[in-house]
A = this chain, B = another copy of it.
Amino acid sequence: MHDHAREAKARSVVTRKLDNAELHRLTLEEYRKAPKLPVVVVLDNVRSLNNVGSVFRTADALLLEAIWLCGITGTPPHNEIHRTALGAELSVPWHYAPHTLGAVAQLRAAGYIVVAVEQVEGSVPLPSFAPQGDERYALVFGNELRGVAQDVVSRADMCLEIPQFGTKHSFNIAVSVGIVLWDISCKLRALT
């Protein structure tokens, strides 16, 4: 049996689920003051409000700086965003930009490295990507059908790709955001 499993079985208390109070999550006020991961997410014309809400929830859990909602991407307050964000649309700062290129240009001017998460020639596979502790990253995720627009990809500093081994062409966009943010946040937290 696996070491962790053996160890866990040896602890009699392992099986009790924690209630919400025991999770010691931050209040909105504490969230505002907490040091953030030096990462923002840019959503390039994401159609589904369900996906937008889910990205807010992921960004809250991993303490991102902000989300940029661009083009047709829906913005809070909205019932459908709330249904998956469950209030994370109140904790994570967000901005709206009519054009993704404008948002990307602003973020680059503010010192962010612009990273398009897209399947392109010469993209860096996520496992090989080594984010650096003294940089800030703007991660751009694209529309459900078309991905990140070619003109945004062309102006990115780099492209990052999640390796995939099956029959389908891409992950769901909210899942992609989860995977990429998890991977990068682990690597950045390991540096501190």
A contact residues vs B (CB 8 Å cutoff) = 1-5, 7-9, 11, 13-18, 20, 23, 25-28, 30-31, 34, 50, 54, 57-63, 84, 86-88, 91-92, 113, 115, 118-124, 127, 129-132, 135, 147-148, 150, 153-154, 156-159, 162, 164-169, 171-172, 174-179, 182-183, 186
* A167 contacts B119, C-beta separation under 8 Å: no
* B13 contacts A166, C-beta separation under 8 Å: no
Closest Cβ of chain B to A85, distance in Å, is 8
A154 to B61, CA, bound (A): 26
A99 to B92, CA, bound (A): 38
Q: How many copies, total?
A: 2
Contacts of A168 in B (CB 8 A): 25, 57, 60-61, 86-88, 91
* B172 contacts A8, C-beta separation under 8 Å: no
Closest to A135 in B: B2
Q: Which of B115, B123, B175 contacts A14 (CB 8 A)?
A: B123
Closest Cβ of chain B to A3, distance in Å, is 8
> Given A17-B119, A57-B175: A113 and B25 within 8 A (CB)?
no
Closest to A91 in B: B167
Q: Which of B30, B50, B153, B182 contacts A17 (CB 8 A)?
A: B153
